[in-house]
């Protein structure tokens, strides 16, 4: 039996939740992210709430609030509980509405933004991000999100600033596409020797890096790997049949696949080299 979701009820529940979250010690802003912020959601899509804090956040108060809202115990991961980049949070279901809390250290987000403005970024190991967590996702989330609560105005100011993609970051991420050629060359050796795992990882890495570079070339924030291939394929300068050729290369995993990957990488890199 299918579940019927009441969009208006979900909106009311989330807005009430935002008010309560804003009262928790350490929380300085709350923003809506994901497909709902972009207006690309389905009726049953999660509500992704970025819970921005400074200093220490009262995890005990968040845990108590989650239990009150859901009517039962909820595990709330404090800062670092989910890894070094996806900082922590909780998965809730309130009145049938799925809501994700995602903790974000606003001081760190602002530092990452300053680095992006200067063309500096990091790629960190993070569960759920097979390509790694690319630090520009932090300001990208703010730029593409919808601020719901921000008494100090700091998150709103960052959103306005990050609405302009930094030219220095564009230059840095397109220059980083050299790694795609390197990875394809490594895949060629692995496929030739029958090392399927290494070959597959090298090709996936090559296309992941290339996708990041394509987003940067167009001045568009790339938040994570999910949907990134289709998103890159839809960008105006992206070569024809980009997604189709990437898919064929990743599913082929033979010498023909490597040759196809090499051609795709060279064609894309020719946009800026």
Of residues 13, 268, 86, the one with CA closest to residue 260 = 268
pLDDT tens digits, 196-238: 999 999 999 999 999 999 999 999 999 999 999 999 999 999 9
Do 209 and 101 share a domain, yes or no? no
Residue-range definition of the domain harbouring residue 160: 1-164
Do 106 and 188 share a domain, yes or no? no
pLDDT number for residue 1: 36
Which percentage of the chain shows pLDDT scores above 70?
94
At which of 129, 164, 199 does a domain end?
Answer: 164
Do 175 and 257 share a domain, yes or no? yes
What CATH number is given to the structural domain containing 245?
1.20.120
Confidence band, pLDDT 50/70/90 cuts, at residue 258: very high
d(CA 79, CA 103): 7
Do 201 and 139 share a domain, yes or no? no
At which of 164, 184, 208 does a domain end?
Answer: 164
Over residues 30-41, mean pLDDT = 79
Do 184 and 111 share a domain, yes or no? no
Over residues 245-257, mean pLDDT = 97
CB atoms within 10 A of CB 190: 19
Beta-bridged to residue 49, according to DSSP, are 32, 101
Name the burial class of residue 171, with classes exposed (0-12), middle (13-18) and buried (19+) by CB atoms within 10 angstroms of its CB: middle
Do 137 and 118 share a domain, yes or no? yes
Do 80 and 44 share a domain, yes or no? yes
d(CA 47, CA 65): 17
pLDDT tens digits, 117-176: 999 999 999 999 999 999 999 999 999 999 999 999 999 999 999 999 999 999 999 999
d(CA 36, CA 190): 42
pLDDT tens digits, 45-71: 788 999 999 999 999 999 999 999 999
d(CA 79, CA 52): 11
Total number of domains in the chain: 2
* H or E stretch at 184: helix 178-192
């Amino acid at each position: 039996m299918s579940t019927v979701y009441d969009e208006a009820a979900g909106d009311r529940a989330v807005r009430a939740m935002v008010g309560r979250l804003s009262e928790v010690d350490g929380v300085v802003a709350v923003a809506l992210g994901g497909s709902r912020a972009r207006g690309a959601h389905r009726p049953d899509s999660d509500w992704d709430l970025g819970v921005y804090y400074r200093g220490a956040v009262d995890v005990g108060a968040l845990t108590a609030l989650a239990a009150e809202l859901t009517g039962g115990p909820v595990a709330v991961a404090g800062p670092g509980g989910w890894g070094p980049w996806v900082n922590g949070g909780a998965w809730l279901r309130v009145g049938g509405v799925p809501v994700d809390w995602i903790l974000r250290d606003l001081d760190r987000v602002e530092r990452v933004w300053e680095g992006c403005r200067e063309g500096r970024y990091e790629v960190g190991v993070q569960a759920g991000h097979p390509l790694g967590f690319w630090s520009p996702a932090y300001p990208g989330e703010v730029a593409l999100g919808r601020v719901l609560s921000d008494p100090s105005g700091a998150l709103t100011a960052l959103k306005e600033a990050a609405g302009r993609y930094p030219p220095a970051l564009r230059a840095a991420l397109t220059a980083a596409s050299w790694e795609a050629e390197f990875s394809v060359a490594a895949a060629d050796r692995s496929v030739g020797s029958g090392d399927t795992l290494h070959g597959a990882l090298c090709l996936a890495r090559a296309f992941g890096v290339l996708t990041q570079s394509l987003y940067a070339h167009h001045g568009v924030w790339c938040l994570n790997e999910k949907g990134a291939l289709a998103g890159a394929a839809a960008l105006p300068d992206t070569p024809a049949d980009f997604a189709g050729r990437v898919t064929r290369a990743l599913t082929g995993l033979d010498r023909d696949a490597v040759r196809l990957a090499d051609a795709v990488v060279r064609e894309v890199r020719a946009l800026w080299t």
